[in-house]
Structure 1
Amino acid sequence: MRSPLTWSDDERRRFVDDGVLIRRGLVHGNVLSRARDLVGGWLTEAYAPARLTAYTERSFAPELEEHPALLALYQRSGLAELAGDLLRPATPAPVTRAQIQIRLPYGAEQPVKRMHVDGVSCPHLEPSDLRTFTFIVGVVLDGSATADAGALHYAPGGHHRMARYFATDWVLGQSAQTPADIDAQDGTAFTAEPGDVVVMHHLVPHRVGINTSSTPRVMAYFRVHHAQHRDLALPALSDPWLEYPALASLAHPGTA
């Protein structure tokens, strides 16, 4: 029987094709409830409405990003092992902080995020800044499992299009994050329950819309970096498998 802390061959091929993997109910029990209660308490006691745009662009609860209860979502749920398995035989750098994203219920006038890839031409960064990573892991902490309740929307297979875009139509410092054909997409909604996990290649374009439900949609994200990502970041924008040694042969059969 395959270990639950590894990816099957079918999952690896799906990641090559779609750039996204989902594990339902991976995070549970005290690990999930402690993180959910921590963020819920912050939202009740420390949330500052005047900072809504800054929270949305970067992270809610920034003072909690290194809290052990949040890091446990990655370190004590099996996610750390799954991250290492996806990159083997390369290794990921240690994950030392979480990002919290909350889509507040309708009426909060929260900015809508259009299709983008993280860390490239972000409005809150200098144009020449590159804050990329290898892939992202998202854990649902709270919220309604419907497409219009602040769900993440992603473009399956969009990492292939984005790699071509970065190779041919983009230069470091330009403001456009995605080509027009990607920007026009609605994307596929990650409809999920608390404890469900999404793993998404950095180059998969994604967006988040408004939350029409009565419950905040709360996600904890962890950015995973190949141990040598600092040196590989720029070429990895146009070579999606540069940081995935075991997946390169699946993406380019016959070239190994």
Structure 2
Amino acid sequence: MPRSVTWSSEERRRFVDDGVLIRRGLVHGAVLSKARDLVDGWLNAAYDPARLTAYTERSFAPELEEHPDLLALYGRSGLEELARDLLRPATAAPVTRAQIQVRLPHSAQQPVKAMHVDGVSCPHLEPRDLRTFTFIVGVVLNGSATADAGALHYVPGGHHRMARYFATDWTLGQPAQTPDDIDAQDGTAFTAEPGDVIVMHHLIPHRVGTNTSSTPRVMAYFRVSHAQHPDLALKALSDPWLEYPALAALARPGTV
């Protein structure tokens, strides 16, 4: 397998420690431009301002989530190979849809996303719904590479804290998604150019703020799950390496 679609030992160690990996410029050329043009076209022709909250909570361009030009960001850029490499020797379930998130410039009406972990008592879900995954892959399609331009903010190493929280201070069905010490953090901004990619452990707490630039910040996300995730999901909340057989050996004792 080419080096460009594998993780180095240093990157694997970083993922264990920080729960986040970044690849700059991985997606490029026609794969990137077709996806960007598709979303831009939807924003210009099909975006409904009355549905802004629903888009923000779930996905913009929901009718395009299975479009080949969006799925190509994952399947034709090297991302699929990177995803498989992170989980091996376990296998990943097929990724069949994309989520589009847009932070519109200077939109006071767009909800601000506080620190959270996806799929655990989300505001738009029933309290007892658990819709988690193993890790998420995000591709920047458009936007300014500044922290105040609607960037994703994440807490490096926060997966260790969240695993302890889920093991000791959380019960299935409670509304609170993150502990107070995580809620109080601003997080590290993913300052990035179109084509840059972020891979983030499911347990990494993150938020998204307002966009003060003049350009929409557009991200395409792909949720990647271990093939047996439905059976492992609840236990994986307190055992961050349950679904990563090769990485479990790298996790230092006492980190979770």
Does TM, normalized by the shorter one, top 0.5? yes
Describe the SS at the equivalent of 2:5.
Answer: coil
Name the residue aligned to 2:56.
56
1:242-253 aligned at under 5 Å gives the runs 242-252=242-252
Aligned match of 2:143: 143
* Structure 1 partner of 2:28: 28
- CA-to-partner distance for each residue in 1:164-209, whole Å, 9 max, x for gaps? 0000000000000000000000000000000000000000000000
Determine the structure 2 residue equivalent to 1:91. 91
Residues 56 and 101, structure 2, Cα contact 8 Å, conserved in 1: yes
CA contact (8 A) 1:104 1:217 kept: yes
Letter matched to residue 213 of structure 1: S
Distance 2:36 2:96 in 1: 18
Q: TM-score w.r.t. structure 1 length?
A: 0.98
Indicate the residue corresponding to 1:219 in structure 2: 219
User: SS of the residue aligned with 1:72?
Assistant: helix
Q: Which residue of 2 aligns with 1:235?
A: 235
d(CA) in 1 for partners of 2:27 and 2:151?
18
Give every structure 1 segment of 4 or more consecutive aligned residues whose post-TM-superposition deviation is greater than 4 Å: none
Query: 1:160 corresponds to which letter in structure 2?
Result: H
Task: Output the CA distance in 1 between the equivalents of 2:59 and 2:2.
Answer: 36
Instruction: Give the 5 Å matches for 1:105-144.
Output: 105-144=105-144
Residue 11 of structure 2 corresponds to 11
Residues 211-249 of structure 1, C-alpha deviations (whole Å, 9 max, x = no match): 000000000000000000000000000000000000000
- Once the 2 structures are TM-superposed, how far is the Cα of residue 2 of structure 1 from its aligned partner? 6.5
Aligned residues between the structures: 253
Equivalent residue for 1:210? 210
Secondary structure of the equivalent of 2:160?
helix
Distance, in Å, in 2 between the alignment partners of 1:144 and 1:98 is 22
Q: 2:194 is matched by which residue type in structure 1?
A: P
The answer (yes or no) to whether the contact 2:107–2:210 under 8 Å persists in 1 is no
Partner of residue 194, structure 1? 194
Deviation at 1:109, TM superposition (A): 1.8
Structure 1 gaps of 5+ residues are: none
Aligned residue type for 1:204: I
Task: Report the RMSD for the aligned CA atoms in angstroms.
Answer: 1.0
2:249 partner SS: helix
**Which residue of the partner structure matches residue 178 of structure 2?**
178
* Amino acid in the other structure paired with 1:38: L
In the alignment, what sits opposite 1:67?
A: 67
Percent sequence identity over aligned pairs: 86
Where does residue 79 of structure 1 map in the other structure?
A: 79
Cα separation, 2, equivalents of 1:135 and 1:214: 31
Q: Partner amino acid for 2:151?
A: A
Alignment CA distance shift 1:155-1:120 (3 Å): same
Secondary structure (helix, strand or coil) at the match of 1:251 reads: coil
Deviation at 1:252, TM superposition (A): 3.8
